Copies of this chain bind each other. A is one copy, B any other.
Amino acid sequence: MATIRLISEAEATGKVKEIFDDFKKTRNVDFVPNYWRALAAFPEYLEATWNKYKTVMLGGKLDRLTKEIIALAVSATNGCEYCINSHTAAVKRLGLDDAAVVEIMAVVDFFNASNSVADGLQIAPDILPEVQD
């Protein structure tokens, strides 16, 4: 249960209504997720975040699946339940199956582990030669 009241689509007016409509059209969905409904309590913040979303997720050169995989990896690292549900659904809509989701988690696993050890032993950066991979 959210700690604030979410704005429903029915009660949205003005800038909030415009952004809700743009969201549904741009994402090609017929509802506005709870996250965006929550931000609507501060309409200018909703607008700046939606503009940033379009720039970051729909602009640039990396493909959409790669970006949703990053979103899932970050959300798993932070343990954000809402976000994990949302981005797992997204990578599945984009074609990944359960085995691929677990493969993403295997990578998330390895580097959360090695991050804690590299920090925990204060390992100094390698003086990197030009390496071929």
Interface of A is mostly: helix
Within A88-133, the residues touching B (CB, 8 Å) are 88-90, 93-94, 98-126, 128-129, 131-133
* Contact B38–A121 (Cβ < 8 Å): yes
Q: Which of B101, B112, B122 contacts A81 (CB 8 A)?
A: B122
Interface size class of A (residues with CB under 8 A): 35 or more
* Docked complex Cα distance between A81 and B82 (Å): 13
* Contact A110–B53 (Cβ < 8 Å): yes
Q: Which of B81, B93, B106, B114 contacts A131 (CB 8 A)?
A: B93
A8 in the interface, Cβ–Cβ < 8 Å?
A: no
* Contact B4–A98 (Cβ < 8 Å): yes
Q: Which of B45, B66, B81, B83 contacts A69 (CB 8 A)?
A: B66
* Contact B60–A52 (Cβ < 8 Å): no
Q: Which residues of the partner chain B approach A47 to less than 8 Å between Cβ atoms?
A: 55
A14 in the interface, Cβ–Cβ < 8 Å?
A: no
* Docked complex Cα distance between A88 and B128 (Å): 12
Asked, given contacts A28-B132, A102-B41, whether A124 binds B2 with beta carbons under 8 Å apart, the answer is yes
Where the two chains meet, the residues of A that have a C-beta atom closer than 8 Å to any C-beta of B are: 1-6, 27-31, 33-35, 38-39, 41-42, 44-45, 47-49, 51-53, 55-57, 59-62, 64, 66-67, 69-90, 93-94, 98-126, 128-129, 131-133
